């Protein structure tokens, strides 16, 4: 029979272990909001504390009316919906300076510009029949919008003042997916999923010329997050389950942050204030928190859904995450088609 003193020690040890375990979890899931559509991308607007979410109606019905949903940034309740008609919304970005949303219609070879003050909408076409657009990014300094196109291997440039297509940065044979804009250095980055080199294409934003190509040596790099101060490029590698960190000047690989078997990172964001990288690990149904100093995984936040994109409130460090609904085999997930609000605090 176990002695009383031994039992006390055992309970004390268990309590201590539980306390230590609780201390390790430095995140809080503040809110989760279900949406009535297929959820894809989102963007946080610091000017009005709103979150805008893009995603078509279930079934991708081109005859149905589609909406961008506006959520309150405090509690994620739905506060408005903006109709985009029969144009299916997938990608989304925001020009904070002009308060204009840009929405990508991947199946219809166009993007929409939505003035958040007047709700006026402008449909912008790239003018190429075989376009298959994916990601959108904004250069607020020049008021230019960039759109990756893997159907016609190029990056569109759209003028934000007139909301018209200007030109494309072309790269024959590439498969352009993700985007990143470095306004202060005059660069536009595009991930090229064409081969095992896993190139990051570097375009001059003024001339559109391809000025460099950085190899990640991971097949089909997806998305990009930039550290503008330390000039680093973070690249999600869904096939190789890592985040590749590149020197933005030389293109040299600084590190590869392995996230674990079958994690499949998709979206990512860099928190400059706290020097953290957040990754949406689709298959593992989690958001990983990576220390950008040591390149070590600090934490894993369960989403119980298929995380896709992450948007950061730079002021508070809070992140907003979209969760898609169905897995590879179509199996439902608990938090499918939701948006989550998460706060992480470094211990």
pLDDT value, residue 51: 98
Residue 63 has pLDDT above 50, yes or no: yes
Q: What is the pLDDT of residues 240-267, one digit of tens each?
A: 999 999 999 999 999 999 999 999 999 9
- Tokens 């003050």 -> residue: 117
Q: What is the pLDDT of residues 115-155, one digit of tens each?
A: 999 999 999 998 777 889 999 999 999 999 999 999 999 99
Distance (Å, rounded) from C-alpha 271 to C-alpha 226? 10
Query: Looking at the DSSP assignment, which residues form a beta bridge with residue 145?
Result: 138, 158
pLDDT value, residue 15: 38
Judge whether 38 and 333 are in contact, CB under 8 Å: no
Q: What is the mean pLDDT of the chain?
A: 91
Residue 22 main-chain phi, psi, to 5 deg:
-65, -35
Q: What percent of the chain has pLDDT over 90?
A: 86
Of 246, 313, 340, 235, nearest in space to 279 by CA = 235
Per the structure block, which two tokens stand in for 65?
Answer: 């009316």
Cα dist. 47→96, 102, 122 in Å?
A: 7, 16, 22
Q: What percent of the chain has pLDDT over 70?
A: 91
Q: What is the pLDDT of residues 277-310, one digit of tens each?
A: 999 999 999 999 999 999 999 999 999 999 999 9
pTM of this structure = 0.92
pLDDT value, residue 329: 65
Element (H, E) at 8: helix 4-24
Residue 206 has pLDDT above 60, yes or no: yes
Complete domains list, the chain, with CATH: 27-344 (2.130.10.10)
Judge whether 307 and 4 are in contact, CB under 8 Å: no
Q: Residue 87 — pLDDT band, cuts 50, 70, 90?
A: very high
Q: What is the 3-state secondary structure (H, E, C) of 118-170?
A: CCCEEEEECCCCCCCEEEEEEECCCCEEEEEECCCCEEEEEECCCCEEEEEEE
Residue 316 has pLDDT above 70, yes or no: yes
Element (H, E) at 234: strand 232-237
- The SS3 of residue 259 is coil
Q: What is the pLDDT of residues 39-56, one digit of tens each?
A: 999 999 999 999 999 999
Distance linking the first and last C-alpha atoms of the chain: 41
Q: In this structure, what is the dihedral angle of CA atoms 193, 195, 200, 205, given to the nearest 10 degrees?
A: -70
Residue 203 has pLDDT above 50, yes or no: yes
Of 306, 255, 252, 253, nearest in space to 277 by CA = 255
pLDDT value, residue 165: 96
pLDDT value, residue 327: 59
Of 279, 266, 221, 211, nearest in space to 246 by CA = 221
Greater model confidence, 88 or 24: 88
Residue 268 has pLDDT above 70, yes or no: yes
Distance (Å, rounded) from C-alpha 80 to C-alpha 51? 10
Residue 213 has pLDDT above 60, yes or no: yes
Judge whether 268 and 243 are in contact, CB under 8 Å: yes
- The SS3 of residue 309 is strand
């Amino acid at each position: 029979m176990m002695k009383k003193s031994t039992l006390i020690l055992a309970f004390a040890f268990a309590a201590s272990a539980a306390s230590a375990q609780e201390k390790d979890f430095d995140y809080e899931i503040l809110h989760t909001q279900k949406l009535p559509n297929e959820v894809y991308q989102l963007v946080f607007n610091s000017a009005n504390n709103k979150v805008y979410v893009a995603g078509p109606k279930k079934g991708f019905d081109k005859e149905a009316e589609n909406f961008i949903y506006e959520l309150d940034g405090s509690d994620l309740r739905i506060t408005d919906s903006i109709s985009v008609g029969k144009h299916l919304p997938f990608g989304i970005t925001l020009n904070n300076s002009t308060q204009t949303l840009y929405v990508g219609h991947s199946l219809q070879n166009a993007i929409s510009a939505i003035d958040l003050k007047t709700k006026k909408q402008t449909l912008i076409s790239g003018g190429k029949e075989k376009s298959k657009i994916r990601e959108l990014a904004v250069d607020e300094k020049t008021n230019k919008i960039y759109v990756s196109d893997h159907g016609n291997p190029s990056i569109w440039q759209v003028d934000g003042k007139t909301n018209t297509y200007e030109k494309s940065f072309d790269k024959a044979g590439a498969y352009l997916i993700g985007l990143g804009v470095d306004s202060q250095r005059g660069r536009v980055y595009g991930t090229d999923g064409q081969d095992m080199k896993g190139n990051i294409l570097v375009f001059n934003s003024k001339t559109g010329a391809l000025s460099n190509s950085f190899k990640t040596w991971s097949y089909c790099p997806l998305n990009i997050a930039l550290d503008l101060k330390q000039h680093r490029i973070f690249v999600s590698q869904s096939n190789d389950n890592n985040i590749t960190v590149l020197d933005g000047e030389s293109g040299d690989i600084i590190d590869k942050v392995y996230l674990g078997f079958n994690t499949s990172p998709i979206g990512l964001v860099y928190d400059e204030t706290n020097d953290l990288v957040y990754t949406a690990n689709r298959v593992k149904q989690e958001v990983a928190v990576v220390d950008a100093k040591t390149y070590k995984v600090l934490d894993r936040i369960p989403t119980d859904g298929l995380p896709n994109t992450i948007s950061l409130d730079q002021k508070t460090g809070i992140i907003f995450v979209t969760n898609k609904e169905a897995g590879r085999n179509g199996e439902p997930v608990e938090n499918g088609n939701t948006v989550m609000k998460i706060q992480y605090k470094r211990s």
